[in-house]
Chain A
Amino acid sequence: MEVYLGVDVGSVTTKLAAVNKNGELLGHIYLPTQGKPIEMVQTGLREIKGQLPQEVDICGVATTGSARYLAGVVVGADLVKNEITCHAMGTLHYIPEVQTIIEIGGQDSKIIIVRDGIVTDFGMNTVCAAGTGSFLAHQALRLGIGIEEFAQRALTSRTPVRIAGRCTVFGESDMIHKQQMGHQIEDILYGLCQALVRNYLNNVGLGKKIDSPIVFQGGVAFNQAIVKAFHEELKTEVIVPPHHEIMGAIGAALLVYEEVLSKNRRSQFMGFGTSEAKYHTTSFECESCPNLCEIAQLVLDDQVLARWGGRCDLWERVQAEEVK
Chain B
Amino acid sequence: MRVTLPHMGNLCIPFKSIFQRLDIDYVIPPLNSRRTLSLGIKYSSEGLCIPFKLILGNLIEAAELGADTFLLPGGYGICRLGYYAKTQEQILHDLGYKNIKVVEVVVSNDQLSGPSFVKMIKSLSNNASWLKVASVVRFGLSKLKALDQVERVVQKVRAVELVKGTANQLLAETVKAIDQADDYRALKTVQSDYIDQLNHVAKDEQVRPLVVGIIGEFYVLLEPFASFDIESELGKLGVEVKRRLFISEWTKFSLLPNPLKISERDQLYRAAAPYLKRDVGGEGWESVGEKVLRAKEYDGIIHLAPFTCMPEIVAQNIMPITKEKIPILTIICDEQMAKTGLLTRLEAFVDLLARQRRTHYNKQLGVV
Contact = CB atoms under 8 A, between A and B. Distances in A.
Interface stretch (A17-25, A118-126, A183-191): A118-126
Interface of A: 66, 81-85, 116, 118-122, 124, 126-127, 206-208, 289-292, 311-313, 317
Contacts of A292: 33-35
A291 B348 contact: no
B340 A127 contact: no
Interface string B312-346: 00001100110000010000101010011101110
Contacts of A116: 359
Given A82-B347, A82-B348, A292-B34, 14 more contacts: A84-B344, A85-B352, A116-B359, A119-B351, A121-B327, A122-B348, A122-B349, A122-B352, A124-B344, A124-B345, A208-B320, A289-B31, A290-B34, A291-B33
A58 to B, nearest CB: 24
B359 A118 contact: yes
B209 interface: no
Interface residues of B, number: 33
A106 to B, nearest CB: 14
B356 interface: yes
Given A118-B356, A127-B307, A85 B327 contact: no
Contacts of A82: 343-345, 347-348, 351
B345 A120 contact: no
B188 interface: no
Given A66-B340, A119-B351, A289 B356 contact: no
Nearest to B347: A82
Contacts of B115: none
Chain A interface secondary structure, helix, strand, loop or mixed? loop
B317 A207 contact: yes
Interface in B40-80: none
B114 interface: no
B82 interface: no
Contact of A127 (B229, B320, B332, B352): B332
Nearest to B353: A119
Nearest to A80: B347
Nearest to B359: A118
Contacts of B31: 289-290
A116 B362 CA distance: 14
B339 A120 contact: no
Contacts of B317: 206-207
19 contacts: A82-B345, A83-B344, A85-B348, A85-B352, A119-B352, A121-B327, A122-B349, A126-B341, A127-B307, A127-B336, A207-B317, A290-B30, A290-B34, A290-B36, A291-B33, A292-B34, A292-B35, A311-B229, A313-B165
A313 B158 CA distance: 14
Contacts of A289: 31, 33
Contacts of A207: 316-317, 320-321
B152 interface: no
A121 B300 CA distance: 11
Given A82-B348, A289-B33, A311 B340 contact: no
A66 B344 contact: yes
B265 to A, nearest CB: 26
A85 B33 contact: no
A121 B321 CA distance: 13
Interface core residue of A66, A81, A126, A312 (most chain B CB under 10 Å): A126
Nearest to A312: B229
A124 B346 CA distance: 12
Contacts of A66: 340, 344
B5 to A, nearest CB: 19
Nearest to B319: A207
Contacts of B307: 127
**CB-CB nearest 6 A-B residue pairs:** A84-B348, A290-B33, A82-B347, A207-B320, A85-B351, A291-B33
Nearest to B35: A290
A276 B348 CA distance: 33
Contacts of A83: 344, 348
Given A290-B33, A290-B35, A85 B347 contact: yes
A81 B355 CA distance: 14
Given A84-B348, A126-B332, A120 B356 contact: yes
B223 to A, nearest CB: 13
Contacts of A313: 164-165
Interface in B150-168: 164-165
Contacts of A121: 327, 352
Nearest to B61: A290
B168 to A, nearest CB: 8
B298 interface: no
B344 A119 contact: no
B250 interface: no
Given A84-B348, A118-B359, A127 B33 contact: no
A81 B36 CA distance: 34
B332 A311 contact: no
A22 B30 CA distance: 57
B275 interface: no
A281 to B, nearest CB: 15
A66 B340 CA distance: 7
B246 interface: no
A291 B34 contact: yes
Interface in B1-58: 30-31, 33-36
B218 interface: no
Interface core residue of B36, B332, B341, B352 (most chain A CB under 10 Å): B352
B228 interface: yes
Interface in B184-242: 228-229
Given A127-B332, A207-B317, A119 B33 contact: no
Interface core residue of B164, B332, B351, B359 (most chain A CB under 10 Å): B351
Interface core residue of A83, A122, A208, A292 (most chain B CB under 10 Å): A122
B334 to A, nearest CB: 6
B329 to A, nearest CB: 8
